[in-house]
Amino acid sequence: MALREIIFLPEPILRRKAKPVTKFDKDLQTLIDDMIETMRDAPGVGLAAPQINLPMQLAVIEYAEQEDDEENEDAPPKPKKLYVIINPEITKVSDEKVMGVEGCLSIPGLLGEVERHAAIQVKALNRHGQPLKLKLDGWMARIFQHEIDHLNGVMFTDKAVRVWKPQEDEEVALD
């Protein structure tokens, strides 16, 4: 496995629609492993192929939803779930939308407040080309929408109602 270089705006590939993946070979498996390692090293919760200068409909996501329940503060953290999505498509969205703060590995030093669907359904292929259907809500739905936007040449700043440079103590999961 190897770390890949994450590119930044204004690199033109970040503004183009990525091409569908058609070959599920050893090279693709190596790329996926490299993307997972790169995402974790960054550190981020998601990484799309255009962010490493590859125009492919491929993204990796790793996140653990945490309970907001004060009674379970001492509970061990939930394990992270790792997703590999290839040629993803959002097939259903909730009417309800929610605002949330987002950052991006390809736009370092900026955060934005973005309105996203509270819940979505996604169909995609997994790393072996097998169909995958996911029902997502909360932060996981937000992360998937952010990464799928990357595959369509859309950056979070395009949808943000407000963008700012974070304070030193301000934390947000980066995708």
User: Annotated catalytic sites, by residue?
Assistant: 147
The values of phi and psi at residue 85, to 5°, are: -120, 130
**Nearest Cα to Cα of residue 87 among 52, 49, 40:** 49
Q: Which residue type does 39 have?
A: M
Give the whole-angstrom CA distance, residue 65 versus residue 165. 26
Q: Which residue type does 96 have?
A: E
Give the whole-angstrom CA distance, residue 73 versus residue 85. 32
